[in-house]
Amino acid sequence: MSHLLTQLPPRLTAETVPRLAPALAEISRGEGPLAVDLTPVAHIDSAGVAFLTLVARRASAAERDLHVTGASPAIARTLRMFPALPAATAPERTSSNPIADLGARGESAINEAGAFLQLSADALWFTGMTLLGRYRLRPGVVTWEMAAMGSRALGVVGLIAFLVGATMGLQSAAQLRRFGADIFVVDLIVITLLRELGPLMAAIVVAGRSGAAIAAEIGTMVVTEEVDALRTMGLHPIRFLVVPKVIAITVVQPVLTIFANALGVLGGFLVATVYLDVGADSFLNRTLEIVQVRDVMTGLVKSLLFAWLIVLLGAHFGMTTRGGADAVGRSTTTSVVAGIFAVVVADAFASLVFYFGG
């Protein structure tokens, strides 16, 4: 069997397909079956599919059988949506070596991390250039993103924070009253909310709402080839799609955190004054006595870190969506799980840094 294009690039996209055009002339000149090896290809877009379709049509015109082999499962699913192409077979596995499987998973994880870092670097670079005035945004896009991420999340963030603050007061009251230390419920509620629970609760809610929405929106655009259309028009998808979300959540997340802190303290205040018989003046005076600017700033710095993780992870899983509607659902679910996990890990790491940093 004659092998055609056995050295394909890792990305069979609009940027690399023009360099493969000379290989099309070989189809009409040769005889016998043809094979296209897709093993090196990790990513394919509409231009790559169009190229393979043209190869199939020329092979059919020359009355030569075409076999597409070595396709990854994601690429095979993409090619199955085009009837003009022959079914792409996956590479054969000669053994079930657990060490080889572990190595393959490690390589996949490294590639995934590299892609995320690349997207994060692009997003931060374009965001910085936009803020410096080098690039312009569409009118009103940041305001719309702020409304979607912020104002529509106020209700659920406020309700959760209020209930958590009240619950903290109730749970601590039973222990503090035994020692006559009712007033210290203020320390427990206020400091914990400002430094830990306020930023964390707001981030988890935003990860579930906005992180999922970002992954679904961008994933749908990838599946429907709108992202490829942006590249064709000379627009960088990161600058066009991700930068407005980064700017919007950078403004919105600290505001949501402050709102969560206020509602959480209000819930604890009501429990302390009604159940613990702590006077309102005593609660307020104790709050002013113990709260420092460092406590507030710690929570706000964490909220910014959480915000960037949520947006970048949502954008990453959206950009790596391959397949159809089911793939968009998987990307959305994965983005929410990864976002919440990343927020919790980042919170633990930041808490250690602030604790040992004095």
Between residues 53 and 216, the one the model is more confident about: 216
List of residues 6+ apart from 231 with CB closer than 8 A: 14, 237
Answer yes or no: is pLDDT of 1 > 50. Answer: no
- Write down the H helix ranges in 207-292: 212-223, 226-232, 237, 243-274, 280-290
Per-residue DSSP letters for 19-76?
Answer: GGGGGGHHHHH--S-EEEE-TT--EE-HHHHHHHHHHHHHHHHTT--EEEE---HHHH
CA quadruple 65, 70, 74, 75: dihedral, nearest 10: -40
Q: Give the pLDDT mean for 34-40.
A: 79
* pLDDT confidence band for 13 (50 / 70 / 90): confident
Angle at Cα 60 formed by Cα 59 and Cα 66, nearest 5°? 55
Closest CA to 241 of 113, 126, 322, 330: 126
The per-residue pLDDT for 200 is: 92
The per-residue pLDDT for 54 is: 82
Which of 51-60, 71-80, 173-182, 256-265 is predicted most confidently?
A: 256-265
Closest CA to 321 of 311, 309, 308, 330: 330
The per-residue pLDDT for 264 is: 92
Between residues 224 and 183, the one the model is more confident about: 224
- 158-174 per-position pLDDT tens digit: 999 999 998 888 887 77
The CATH number of 2-89 is which of 3.40.640.10, 2.60.40.1260, 3.30.1310.10, 3.30.750.24?
3.30.750.24
The per-residue pLDDT for 344 is: 93
The per-residue pLDDT for 358 is: 57
The boundaries of every CATH 3.30.750.24 domain in the chain are 2-89
- 229-251 per-position pLDDT tens digit: 888 787 888 988 999 999 999 99
- 61-117 per-position pLDDT tens digit: 777 777 777 777 777 777 776 665 655 554 444 455 788 778 878 888 888 888 889
Q: How far apart are CA 284 and CA 64, in angstroms?
A: 84
The per-residue pLDDT for 2 is: 52
Provide the percentage of residues in the chain whose pLDDT is more than 70. Answer: 90
User: To the nearest whole number, what is the mean pLDDT of the chain?
Assistant: 83
pTM here?
0.71
| Residues β-bridged to residue 43 | 11
Q: Give the pLDDT mean for 291-306.
A: 90
| Residues β-bridged to residue 2 | 34
The per-residue pLDDT for 4 is: 56
- Other Cβ atoms less than 10 A from the Cβ of 10: the count is 10
User: CB–CB of 319/123 below 8 Å?
Assistant: no
Lowest mean pLDDT among 50-54, 80-84, 135-139, 277-281: 80-84
Q: Give the pLDDT mean for 128-135.
A: 87
Q: How far apart are CA 222 and CA 52, in angstroms?
A: 19
Residue 347: what residue type? Answer: D
CA-only gyration radius of the chain, Å: 27
The per-residue pLDDT for 30 is: 64
The bridge status of strand 43-44 relative to strand 11-12 is parallel
